[in-house]
Amino acid sequence: MIRKIAVLGAGTMGHSIAEAFAMHGFEVNLFDTDSNRLQAAKEEIRAELSLLAAEDFIPQPAIQATLDKIAYFTDLKQTVIDRDYVLEATPEILELKQNLFKQLDNLCPPHTILASNTSSLKLNDMMALVSPSRKERILVTHWYNPAHLIPIIELSYFGNMPEDLYTQVEALHLAIKKQTVKVLKDVPGLVANRIQQGVAREVFSLIEMGIAAPADIDKALKFGPAFRYATTGQLEVADFGGLDIWCVVGDNLLKEMDSSECANKLLREKVQQGKLGIKSGEGFYKYSPEKISAIKNDFMRKLIHQLKASEYYI
Ligand SMILES: NC(=O)c1ccc[n+]([C@@H]2O[C@H](COP(=O)([O-])OP(=O)(O)OC[C@H]3O[C@@H](n4cnc5c(N)ncnc54)[C@H](O)[C@@H]3O)[C@@H](O)[C@H]2O)c1
């Protein structure tokens, strides 16, 4: 049974993964090599919990109770020495993750299960330097940003881990009210990111061709397909609409749509111009610096409302 957890890397993903476990009563050790980042993570977690309380998603006393469940570390051995489950959310660099898993193999008790939040690296490559017995206790668990709010966790089921251990990891995520997806093959992007990139490719192409303005394209998605997708998956949508219709429309439309195998030209040009989105003040839209924190809070607030509503349709 998994009780004691460690999260390694307190950046964008790590801090909110630690928060998600702590919100549901798990003891979490949060580790980072950068002590300033740990301090910033503590403040981010407090602010995110305060927003959850302000939106009546958690009771006010849960803020302090959650904060009390998280301990902060810069010493890896102390972080993991008594842990049942260790998840790494460190930079997406293969050598870094390989060496980290090798260290963890030596520092953790034999029963510890290790997990990676990688977005694009193969499990087999990441566990190249660990012992054969530990290879049975490693998996990919892919969270979505912001991790404390987005329900999906993709779990790898690639044949290296016995069924009973996989079931323990699955139960851990169900206990913190997440929805798990069992991914059967070690493919880049797993399931959710591949779906998302398919949508993004067409959206960037529509902008590039001048088919509609950015706000209208986003509106078409939010109030069209995505409105339905929040409650109904693509395969259900196809069944409801009729597979014969989907077949005809696919034959007519897919040959007209973008099929490029790399990032869109317009997207690349924006990156080259330093237009990186909210973090640089401009992407497809413009953001004035004084409004950025309000915009981010508004994004989180909408997700909290959606999460509340989702309790009715799960
Ligand atoms: N950002 C996303 O939307 C997202 C979504 C899903 C998965 N991921 C994956 O999660 C992982 C982390 O991404 P992120 O966006 O949180 O990165 P990030 O850069 O925000 O955070 C990484 C943290 O790791 C710390 N770090 C560096 N070396 C370390 C080490 N050896 N041990 C422990 N900590 C170390 C850094 O100080 C930093 O705080 C990556 O594998 C990424 O691909 C990211």
Which two tokens mark 246?
A: 């989907």
pLDDT of residue 69: 98
What number does the ligand 1 atom closest to the CA of 90 have?
24
Distance 32 CA to ligand 1 centre (A): 10
Architecture category of domain 4-183 in CATH: 3-Layer(aba) Sandwich (3.40)
Which protein residue has the closest C-alpha to ligand 1 atom 25?
Answer: 9
Instruction: Give 18's contacts (C-beta < 8 A, 6+ positions apart).
Output: 5, 7, 10, 28, 30, 41, 45, 70
Query: Would you say 303 and 152 are in contact if contact means Cβ atoms under 8 Å apart?
Result: no
Q: Is the CB of 16 under 6 A from ligand 1?
A: no
Q: Is the CB of 118 under 6 A from ligand 1?
A: yes
As a whole number of angstroms, the distance between CA 182 and CA 189 comes to: 13
Distance 9 CA to ligand 1 centre (A): 6
Distance 148 CA to ligand 1 centre (A): 15
Q: What is the pLDDT along the chain (314 residues), one digit of tens a residue?
A: 899 999 999 999 999 999 999 999 999 999 999 999 999 999 999 999 999 999 999 999 999 999 999 999 999 999 999 999 999 999 999 999 999 999 999 999 999 999 999 999 999 999 999 999 999 999 999 999 999 999 999 999 999 999 999 999 999 999 999 999 999 999 989 999 999 999 999 999 999 999 999 999 999 999 999 999 999 999 999 999 999 999 999 999 999 999 999 999 999 999 999 999 999 999 999 999 999 999 999 999 999 999 999 877 76
Instruction: Tell whether pTM > 0.85.
Output: yes
pLDDT of residue 89: 98
Distance 92 CA to ligand 1 centre (A): 7
- Residue type (1 letter), 248: V
pLDDT of residue 10: 98
156, burial (CB in 10 Å: exposed 0-12, middle 13-18, buried 19+): buried
CATH of 192-262, one of 1.10.1040.10, 1.10.645.10, 3.90.950.10, 3.90.340.10: 1.10.1040.10
- Residue type (1 letter), 47: A
Distance 220 CA to ligand 1 centre (A): 32
pLDDT of residue 55: 96
Which protein residue has the closest C-alpha to ligand 1 atom 11?
Answer: 89
Site to probe by mutation for ligand 1, drawn from 32, 42, 149, 155 as the one with most ligand atoms within 8 Å of Cβ, is 32
pLDDT of residue 312: 72
Q: Is the CB of 13 under 6 A from ligand 1?
A: yes
Distance 208 CA to ligand 1 centre (A): 31
Please report, for the chain, the start and end positions of each structural domain, with discontinuous segments joined by +: 4-183, 192-262, 274-314
As a whole number of angstroms, the distance between CA 40 and CA 292 comes to: 18
pLDDT of residue 311: 78
Distance 90 CA to ligand 1 centre (A): 4
DSSP designation for 292:
H
Q: Is the CB of 130 under 6 A from ligand 1?
A: no
